[in-house]
Amino acid sequence: MMNLKETLYKVVNSKTVQGILTANIFAFLVIVIQSSLMPKDPGILVFSEFVIIPMLMGIITAWFWKDTGIRGKQITGHSVVNCLIAISMSFFFLGEGFICLLIVSPLIFSFIIAGAFIGRAMFKKRNQKLNISIVSLLLGIFIVDSLSNHYHENMVSDEILIHASPAEVWQHVVAFDPISQKENYWLFKIGMPSPMATTVSEHKLGANRKCIFSNGYIFDEKIVRFDINKNLIFDIVDQPKDPEIMGHIDIKRGEFILKDNGNGTTTLIGNSWYNLHVFPTWYYDLWAESITRNVHFRVMEHIKLLSER
């Protein structure tokens, strides 16, 4: 019993643990204060939450570790522990999903480690003015970013050549039977929902279309353009809010364009428009484009298979 108490006392008094705990409490409090004082659209996560807060977390740990003689390898290792705790807290308190956290983790890891090394360099200089300036600048960026409007829309376009006439392809574009091919995109393989089938209430303008995903999620769609053998456009009218990436991206509209190549083949073009609710877009758009592209190809390869059968 005494040993346990002593160990606990040692752990709590260790600068390593104090640094990690303080950094995580700081991050948690900042996010709580930010969401209560600066309400933004639900689901929007700003650049500062993935860049500035992790960097400040790293700097905080460096302040606790500055006089401990800690080596670079230990700083890296302890920073990884710090990241894992921050990611676990996001899972439990922010309700983020596993895949979402997997996607965000490179940002968190790199900025927390960078923050720890920047902090080490800062505190070695023992220049209070410099330290205060850097921390104030980061907090300033955080406040401005939190108060700014965030909106990002993007379109992803892909095409595929099908050895069948537009009339044949059209039959499988409006609605199609369940996809039986195995997943080949790594995110689908580890559990991200992938498109499985599409049903339609009627083959005409204004009809309701449903895109069914592998986990049972259904995207409700409405056909807004029905140009037989040429063009199908549908607006997404309702989509599931999932803790995984789907909570952070809104698919707005989808389109299929069928181009008759005049030689018995058809070029099928798939377009999707989406709004991204997570920032920075230079990072998350890479993922969103990759996921959208793989959704396109899973559907379009299936249409190709059915049309060429």
Partner 1 sequence: MFSFVVKRAGFLKDIPLVAIIFDSLMRFWMLVTKPELLDWIDELEEDVTRMPETTIGIHKYGGTQFNYKGREFAHVHSNGLLDILLNKQLKQSLMLEGKIKDHHVYKNSGWVSFHLHNKQDVSYACYLLNIAYDRTKQK
- Cα distance between residue 170 and residue 227, in whole Å: 10
The nearer residue to partner 1, 63 or 213, going by C-beta atoms, is 63
Computed on alpha carbons and rounded to an integer, the radius of gyration of the chain in Å comes to 25
Q: Give CA separation, 194 vs 172, 209, 283, in Å.
A: 18, 17, 22
The nearer residue to partner 1, 46 or 268, going by C-beta atoms, is 46
Place of tokens 């592998």: 214
How far is C-alpha 240 from the chain's CA centre? 15
CB atoms near residue 151 (< 10 Å): 10
Continuous H helices in the chain: 2-13, 15-37, 47-50, 52-65, 72-93, 98-125, 128-147, 166-174, 186-189, 281-308
Assess whether the previous peptide bond of 195 is cis (omega < 30° from 0). Answer: no
**Closest approach of partner 1 to the CB of residue 16, in Å:** 16
**Closest approach of partner 1 to the CB of residue 278, in Å:** 18
The nearer residue to partner 1, 108 or 179, going by C-beta atoms, is 108
**Closest approach of partner 1 to the CB of residue 71, in Å:** 4
The nearer residue to partner 1, 70 or 299, going by C-beta atoms, is 70
The nearer residue to partner 1, 26 or 117, going by C-beta atoms, is 117
**Closest approach of partner 1 to the CB of residue 103, in Å:** 15
- Cα distance between residue 94 and residue 216, in whole Å: 24
CB atoms near residue 220 (< 10 Å): 15
**Closest approach of partner 1 to the CB of residue 112, in Å:** 8
The nearer residue to partner 1, 23 or 174, going by C-beta atoms, is 23
**Closest approach of partner 1 to the CB of residue 38, in Å:** 24
- Listed as own residue / partner, the contacts of 207-213 with beta carbons closer than 8 Å and 24 or more positions apart are 209/174, 209/175, 209/234
Q: Provide the binding-site residues for partner 1, judged by CB under 8 A.
A: 71-73, 76-77, 80, 106, 109-111, 113-114, 117-118, 121, 124
The nearer residue to partner 1, 77 or 140, going by C-beta atoms, is 77
**Closest approach of partner 1 to the CB of residue 125, in Å:** 8
